[in-house]
Chains A and B, each alone.
Chain A
Amino acid sequence: MNEQKPGFAVSSFALLVIAFLQVPVIVVVLAGFSETSYLTIPPQGLTLRWFGEVLTDPTYLSAIRISLILAVSATLASMVLGVAAAYAIHKKMLPGSDAITSFLMAPLVVPSVVVGVALLQYFTLIGWRGSFLALILAHTIITVPYIVRSVLASLSGIDPSLEEAARVLGANGPSAFRLVTLPLIKPGLVAGALFAFVTSMENVPVTIFLASARQTTLPILIFSSVEMGVDPSVAAVSTLLIVATAVVLLLAERWAGFHKFV
């Protein structure tokens, strides 16, 4: 047997690296349950106090609420805009599909911090600064490439004669899309939407320039409160985010085979 397989040394090293990837996650969770504000191993005393504090603190609750509303709105807007555009690109309805695709992906190429300052100046200029709709618009711009990308990937895997078959069987254009194409791109769309949602949920570089004090999102709140040092309530709210992420990831994996679309 001379098959190319990772040897013991390579495997062990790789597993160590994968463990390294989980280290901060474990630390945050431990800190969230720790009684002391600094960390030791093993943790000295376990408590749920910090979780209670977070879940009754209006600042945290408001930040969580703002983050969720923002992420859901931006993801929905991105899905509608992105699916329509990706479909038109895939069907080559317009000349220059490649150029159009590159342009739709541009928000990924321009550094987020630059998108942030550009939008700050622009919204200030046209008087939208501090508007929540403007914030949703900004998040739509940074999330839409993920939808376009995953929907394009899904569409390219569909036999074009499926939609033709639906047309011949009496479906008009929109119902052929709704009855055949949409169900078939659903896994890709779910994966793209999840990625868009997560991108919006964790965004700091754009949000921090645009959000007013009343629009503080969860990541902004954590980002600014760590200046005060390691606070167990930050660890607790982070632990909640970790659990939510893990649950969503596992559901998405089971439902849509998420890892194929990342």
Chain B
Amino acid sequence: MSRLVLEHVEKRYGTVPVVKDVSLTIEEGEFVSLLGPSGCGKTTILRMVAGLVEPSAGSIRIGEKDVTNLPPNKRQIGLVFQSYALFPHLTVFENVAFGLRRQGESGNGFSARVREALALVRLADYGERYPRQLSGGQQQRVAMARAIAPRPRVLLFDEPLSNLDAKLRDEMQIELKRLQAELAITTLFVTHDQSEALSLSDRVCVMHDGIIQQYAPPEDIYHRPATAFVASFIGKPNRLSGTVAGNGADGRIDCGQGLTIRAAAVAARAGSAVDVFIRQEAIRLSTTPEAADNALAGTVAMRSFSGAHVQYVVRLPNGTELVVETPSSGPASDLAPGSAIHLLVSAADVFALPAAGRAS
């Protein structure tokens, strides 16, 4: 268990940069997710940490040791692959024992450690089976046991849950969190699934185009996005374009044709173009006018029911359409198209950020 530090790490394939000047510190025992769309460079970073890809520049340290030029077998890391990469010709026991054998382990303590790792993922009785005899979720747990058995200093996950169906994924997510809490191993978890990243991590590192967009605890990522990309990528945001009105101090943004929206803070000069993000779930609906930072009148254009929530498309007088999500058991959950409605949004839930770095 050690600190993992990346300093000015870069990766180029030919002249194409994939990872651009990434510096990142993961504290001892911390769980960090690398979150971003595919092609953002997150898997490349993980593979550089594992030693499977050579960085073009920069250095990687595990604990006090510079591992930048070490081969993967000298790094003492655990890696759970997206495909699990279980050895099909070896039993579950031998898969888990593989790393321990490489450390020269043998004897009684050795099989005890293998069994301990298997018990940890609740597969104590499956040692004699072969990977192909296990379900997807069981294979996933063997992959985890195999990675943790040699007691690595850093644990890496490469989209480990993406091959599981939705229900199993939720179960494994809980299992993973329990396991990491129990072992307190420094963990780097690569995913494109924001709810996975937000619920599992101590800190989330959002990446886009090989650049770190924001590195912060999940709450900050969600409530205080640092860039337009983060605001557009996290949650289910409505995006409007506008310009900063007045001198910019009161947070008013002119969204055109008489629509003015107030944000708590505006990180842009007066008169400059901004993207305005309002999450679907941050908009409150009311059938009567109410006082709020932003109180907008509109009409319901469309309603769709999805179980726990109801989504409305609401058309504002200037023609702008906003999507609103509301609990299906709450008030205003059964509005017919054409109904007049009031939208209430707190200024703190409006993010006005310089127009750049769109989500793909």
Nearest neighbor of A182 in chain B, beta-carbon distance: B89
Interface size in chain B (residues, C-beta < 8 A):
25
Nearest neighbor of B99 in chain A, beta-carbon distance: A169
Docked CA distance A171–B77 (Å):
12
From known contacts A167-B72, A167-B73, infer whether A161 and B81 are also in contact, taking CB-CB under 8 Å: yes
Contact flags B51-91 to A (C-beta < 8 A → 1, else 0): 11000000000000000000111011111011101111100
Q: Which of B52, B86, B146, B150 contacts A167 (CB 8 A)?
A: B52
- The answer to whether A165 and B79 touch across the interface, beta carbons within 8 angstroms, is yes
Instruction: Indicate whether A172 reaches chain B with its CB closer than 8 angstroms.
Output: yes
Instruction: Indicate whether B287 reaches chain A with its CB closer than 8 angstroms.
Output: no
Instruction: Indicate whether B167 reaches chain A with its CB closer than 8 angstroms.
Output: no
- The answer to whether A184 and B81 touch across the interface, beta carbons within 8 angstroms, is no
- The answer to whether A170 and B81 touch across the interface, beta carbons within 8 angstroms, is no
Docked CA distance A215–B150 (Å):
57
Instruction: Indicate whether A3 reaches chain B with its CB closer than 8 angstroms.
Output: no
- The answer to whether B87 and A171 touch across the interface, beta carbons within 8 angstroms, is no
A-side interface mostly: helix
From known contacts A159-B83, A161-B81, infer whether A170 and B102 are also in contact, taking CB-CB under 8 Å: yes
Q: Which residues of B contact A184 (CB under 8 A)?
A: 88-89
- The answer to whether B52 and A170 touch across the interface, beta carbons within 8 angstroms, is no
State the Cβ distance, B264 to closest chain A Cβ, in Å: 46
Contact flags A149-171 to B (C-beta < 8 A → 1, else 0): 00000000001011011111111
Docked CA distance A166–B213 (Å):
33
From known contacts A168-B77, A172-B73, infer whether A162 and B87 are also in contact, taking CB-CB under 8 Å: yes
State the Cβ distance, A215 to closest chain B Cβ, in Å: 41
Q: Which of A164, A168, A173, A175 contacts B78 (CB 8 A)?
A: A168
- The answer to whether A164 and B71 touch across the interface, beta carbons within 8 angstroms, is no
- The answer to whether A168 and B89 touch across the interface, beta carbons within 8 angstroms, is no
Q: Which residues of B contact A173 (CB under 8 A)?
A: 71
| Known interface pairs A169-B102, A171-B102; 19 further A-B residue pairs with C-beta atoms within 8 A, sorted by A's residue number | A161-B81, A161-B85, A162-B87, A162-B88, A164-B50, A164-B79, A164-B81, A164-B85, A165-B86, A167-B52, A167-B72, A168-B52, A168-B77, A168-B79, A169-B150, A175-B102, A179-B98, A184-B88, A184-B89
